């Protein structure tokens, strides 16, 4: 079924009007670099989060734990690697330094680290152990080094900016040295994670030591955060956006643009305990189920992204036994469902493909992959099954990229067809596979949204010459990183109110509309990104400039806020 390029173009030009297929040639589709492609092919990555806050039963280290108490005597990085392998992860992303500033490698840049604990008499280096274990088990290694540091007054969400400006230059040198150490002393680093971006200029260090590494956030970013810590992407999920937005270092899935000129795939991070990144006895009770994790897998890797699933060793340094069981069950579930297709088609090109089955068989999944090395060519597609009553639509979609998993109600068919109805260039099919997953109950997600919360009101009666400035405190509604929606609803239809400008301020940081807010069409509804972690006492303030087009009739309304649902378009 391989179609040569010249012939296929001639055939397509003849058939397009007949088949009602949309073709729009894109002169220069964005494509992944070799580094991005190798990173993306991993599909599954395991986070490892261990920190002094593990001893505190907190999510953020408050420095209340004496270093003499930090002695993870059973720590075994081989066990961590076995956990990753059990669910099919290809990389371990290790939090070598979290917000509190504790360093898990043997560094002289800080007294707050493993060097000053009883563990291995202060001579231990967890990052060294892990790098050796990863090589032993054939895993890639990624490193998370938080740009901020509480010991320097560069707190959560600071990106490395110190509260006392007189300390900034000194801390810049400390962080640059820390980053140099972790990137230069532990072998190849597949991924560098800057949580919440990085305000310190480290471009020269990245150029020297991480030119073959994928970069998460920061000015050199080549990857993106989806915008939530749910592990789920919004669909459609496009790996492209405008380059000027990517360069801000804080681009998220909000910025998806199928025709964008830059490639930056999405990494969907999620906790194993809902919703805690670090171990505690209480948090173990929040362990997700296999069904929950499978749903997350379908909506991360199955939407064309990469799943980043957390692990969190306890105070002994080991991943808890029941967590290990869960990882194994997850891996077995993925393999059981997708290792053995009923039939498949690989490495071909064109706009319509059929897979005949040896006999009529029940099917309930199709997995489609395009050769995304050449960009997002497929823009819309239809999957159909053939039975005695003819062809029936099983699923429809748009973005494919690395992989799109389409589940549907079980149907007995004798053949399956893929029709690509809209594309930007000749579609290149890497794989088109049909499955019958046993004991699978199809449960389509409804178009749902989270509940609206009233966070304020407005009234044109208080406007002066048709204008008003309004400040809205959203702090109690935005309690975690994620994507949120704020809507200004009118209660009187005869007059209108328009938001001229809207700016969001996180913890008094002067961040602008372009960085964190997107207007929904021409409406008075705005999408807000909270990319940094939210500490206790954090403030989120929205400031808007409003205009009323009618000075005679009064208008008023409500200001509503909600977390953005995964199913919202």
Enumerate the domain spans of the chain.
Answer: 35-338, 340-435, 453-563
Q: Which residue has the tokens 């309930």?
A: 364
Residue 79 burial by CB count (10 A; 0-12/13-18/19+): exposed, middle or buried? middle
Q: Which residue has the tokens 């150490």?
A: 181
Specify whether the CB–CB gap between 206 and 180 falls below 8 A: no
Q: Which residue has the tokens 């008094």?
A: 508
Residue 174 to residues 107, 155, 184, Cα–Cα distance (Å) = 11, 15, 15
Q: Which two tokens stand for residue 493?
A: 């239809």
Kindly give the residue spans of alpha helices, DSSP state H, lying in 168-289.
168-184, 203-209, 243-246, 281-284
Instruction: Tell me if 340-435 shares its fold with 453-563.
Output: yes
Low pLDDT (below 70) residues in the chain: 1-27, 445-450, 491-495, 508-516, 532, 550-554, 565-569
Q: What CA–CA distance (Å, rounded) separates 414 from 418?
A: 14
Specify whether the CB–CB gap between 506 and 538 falls below 8 A: yes
Annotation: CATH topology of 453-563: Jelly Rolls (2.60.120)
Q: Which helix (H) or strand (E) holds 349?
A: strand 343-349
Residue 152 to residues 156, 391, 458, Cα–Cα distance (Å) = 12, 65, 41
Neighbours of 35 (CB within 10 A): 17
Specify whether the CB–CB gap between 306 and 40 falls below 8 A: yes
CATH class of this structure's domain 340-435 = mainly beta
Residue 519 to residues 81, 250, 514, 561, 567, Cα–Cα distance (Å) = 44, 17, 10, 14, 19
Q: What CA–CA distance (Å, rounded) separates 63 from 61?
A: 6
Q: What confidence score (pLDDT) does residue 519 get? A: 80
Q: What confidence score (pLDDT) does residue 2 get? A: 33
- Encode pLDDT of 333-380 as tens digits: 999 999 999 999 999 999 999 999 989 999 999 999 999 999 999 999
**CATH code, 35-338:** 3.20.20.80
Q: Which helix (H) or strand (E) holds 470?
A: strand 467-473
Strand, helix or coil at 43? Answer: coil
Q: What CA–CA distance (Å, rounded) separates 449 from 321?
A: 36
How many H helices and E strands in the chain? 12, 24
Q: What confidence score (pLDDT) does residue 538 get? A: 80
Q: Quick one: how far is CA 486 from the chain centroid? A: 22
Specify whether the CB–CB gap between 275 and 211 falls below 8 A: no
- Residue 91 is given by DSSP the state E
Q: What confidence score (pLDDT) does residue 517 get? A: 74
Q: Which residues contact 200 (CB under 8 A, 6 or more apart)?
A: 147, 159, 160, 171, 172, 175, 176
Rounding to the nearest 10 degrees, give the CA dihedral for residues 361, 366, 367, 368: 120
> For the range 3-7, what are the long-range contacts, defined as Cβ-Cβ under 8 Å and sequence gap of 24 or more?
3/348, 3/349, 3/350, 5/349, 5/426
């Amino acid at each position: 079924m391989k179609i040569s390029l010249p012939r296929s173009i001639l055939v397509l030009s003849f058939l397009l009007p007949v088949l009602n297929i949309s073709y729009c040639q894109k002169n220069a589709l964005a494509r992944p670099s070799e580094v991005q492609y190798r990173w993306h092919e991993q599909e599954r990555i395991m986070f490892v989060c261990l920190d002094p806050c593990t001893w505190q039963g907190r999510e953020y280290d408050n420095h209340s734990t004496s270093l003499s108490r930090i002695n993870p005597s059973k720590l075994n990085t081989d066990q961590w690697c076995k956990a990753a392998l059990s669910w099919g992860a290809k990389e371990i992303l290790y939090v070598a330094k979290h917000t509190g500033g504790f360093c898990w490698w043997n560094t002289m840049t800080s007294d707050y680290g493993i060097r000053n604990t009883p563990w291995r008499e202060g001579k231990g280096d967890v990052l060294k152990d892990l790098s050796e274990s990863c090589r032993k088990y054939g895993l890639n290694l990624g490193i998370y080094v938080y740009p901020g540091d509480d010991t320097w007054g560069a707190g959560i969400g600071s990106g490395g900016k110190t509260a006392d400006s007189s300390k900034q230059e000194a801390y810049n040198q400390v962080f640059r040295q820390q980053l140099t150490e972790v990137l230069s002393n532990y072998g190849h680093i597949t991924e560098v994670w800057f949580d919440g971006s990085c305000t310190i200029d480290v471009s020269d260090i990245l150029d020297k030591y991480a030119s073959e590494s994928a970069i998460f956030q920061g000015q050199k970013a080549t990857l993106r955060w989806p915008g939530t810590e749910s592990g789920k992407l919004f669909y459609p999920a496009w790996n492209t956006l405008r380059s000027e937005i990517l360069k801000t270092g804080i681009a998220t899935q909000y910025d998806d643009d199928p025709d964008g000129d830059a490639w930056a795939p999405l990494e969907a991070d999620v906790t194993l305990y809902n919703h805690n990144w670090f171990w505690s006895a209480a948090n173990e009770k929040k362990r997700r189920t296999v069904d929950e994790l499978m749903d997350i897998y379908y909506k991360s890797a199955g939407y064309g992204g990469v799943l980043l699933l957390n692990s969190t060793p306890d105070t002994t340094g080991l991943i808890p036994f029941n967590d290990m069981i869960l990882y194994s069950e997850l891996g077995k579930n993925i393999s059981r469902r997708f290792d053995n297709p009923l039939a498949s088609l690989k490495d071909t090109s064109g706009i319509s493909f059929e897979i005949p089955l040896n006999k009529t068989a029940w099917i309930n999944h199709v997995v489609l992959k395009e050769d995304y090395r050449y960009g997002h060519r497929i823009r819309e597609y239809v999957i159909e099954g053939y039975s005695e009553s003819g062809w029936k639509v099983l699923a429809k979609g748009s973005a494919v990229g690395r992989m799109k998993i389409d589940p549907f109600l079980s149907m007995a068919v004798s053949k399956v067809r893929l029709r690509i109805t809209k594309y930007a260039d000749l579609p290149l099919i890497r794989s088109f596979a049909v499955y019958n997953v046993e004991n699978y109950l199809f449960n389509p997600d409804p178009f749902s949204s989270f509940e609206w919360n009233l966070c304020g009101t407005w009234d044109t009666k208080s406007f002066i010459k048709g204008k008003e400035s309004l400040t809205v405190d959203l702090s109690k509604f935005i309690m975690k990183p994620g994507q949120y929606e704020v809507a200004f609803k009118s209660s009187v239809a005869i007059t209108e109110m328009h938001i001229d400008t809207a700016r969001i301020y996180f913890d008094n940081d002067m961040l602008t509309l372009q960085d964190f807010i997107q207007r929904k069409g021409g409406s008075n509804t705005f999408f807000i990104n909270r990319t940094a972690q939210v500490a206790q006492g954090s403030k989120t303030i929205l400031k808007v400039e409003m205009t009323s087009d009618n000075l005679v009739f009064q208008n008023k309304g409500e200001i509503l806020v909600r977390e953005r649902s995964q199913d919202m378009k």
